[in-house]
Amino acid sequence: MPLPHRVVIAVFPDVDLLDATGPAEVFALANRETAGRAGYEVRLAGPAAGEVRTSAGVRLLADLSFSEVGGQVDTLLVPGAVDMTEDGPTARIDKDVVAWVKDTAPHARRVASVCVGAHLLAAAGLLDGRTATTHWSTAAQLAADHPAVTVDPDPIFVRTDRGRIWTGAGISACLDLALALVAEDQGEDVALAVARQLVMYLRRQGGQSQFSVPLSRPATSRRDIDELCLWIAEHLDEDLSAEALAAHMRLSERHFARVFKQETGAGPAAYVEAARVEAARRLLETTDCPLEQVAATAGLGSVETLHRAFKRQLATTPAAYRRRFRTRTA
């Protein structure tokens, strides 16, 4: 039998509840989907063993005190806590937690932060000289407090240090991060099986924006526009010109363009390009498909068009993007 993956999740007063329990559920489902072969053994560790009150008011029970964890840690998972101030959410830096993370991290195979837990990793010196992400609302604080860290507030999660250190974005992105850890350990099929059990639409990849195309647009007041946006996502390799979309909606092109921009905040061409780039990002992260195939599948036609769209949307090239975000299981 393989040795268990000992996952230690830090919990402390006012820790975000989902950031601790979400990954724990993912690992538990991975065990269930593999009839125990995944071998995850999850333990909660806190300043002291016993009751810990989370930010939601729900109480968790820490299995171990920090001092009892020892050196046998496969994955160290560090959520965070925030204080609400006049300037908005501010990541809380608990010196005792930081000291424990700094002492424990060298003994762990990999270390991952969830949401504002990145601030604790940074305070422990683990992110110096590296790229990291966190919840978008505290990204400016992380950059200001730690100039040696390159803060990218856009991705759902970032892997660095040859995959040893991970930082994740906020709230529900903890599930995407945990699924990526499962994919690295158990393969993509197990991760997708867990995602299905969680009734997640898909397993988002690390490079995907915290604000994907549907989330980055204001809510529409017209159901027909909502349905069109879903239709666009399912027909990216078809003719999605303003003329074609207007015909699909049975509206004049001029009236359609006005209504679409009013409802989505973007013109039809800009929206379609963003949706196609998002699809191309997923292909670059999860497959070894040549750029010609990526461009065709995402509806961008040619590699030249793919390059231009990536430059406009992401200020990088498809090849550079793939080198940074391609998953090991791709």
**pTM for this prediction:** 0.68
pLDDT above 70 coverage of the chain, percent: 91
Per-residue pLDDT reduced to its tens digit, 273-285: 999 998 998 888 7
Residue 21 to residue 35: CA distance in whole angstroms? 21
Class for the domain spanning 5-197 = alpha beta
Q: What is the pLDDT of residues 291-304, one digit of tens each?
A: 999 999 999 999 99
Q: Residue 329's pLDDT band (boundaries 50, 70, 90)? A: very low
Whole-angstrom CA distances from 108 to 102, 200, 222 are 11, 29, 50
The DSSP output letter for 48 is S
Instruction: In whole angstroms, give the CA distance from residue 140 to residue 211.
Output: 17
pLDDT the model gives residue 100:
97
Helix (H) or strand (E) holding 328: none
pLDDT digits (tens, 9 = 90+) for 123-145: 999 999 999 999 988 999 999 99
162-199 in b/e form (b: 16+ CB < 10 A) is eeebbbbbbeebbbbbbbbbbbbbbebebbbbbbeebe
Residue 170: pLDDT band (50, 70, 90) is: confident
Segments making up each domain of the chain, as ranges: 5-197, 212-330
> Span 212-330: which CATH code?
1.10.10.60
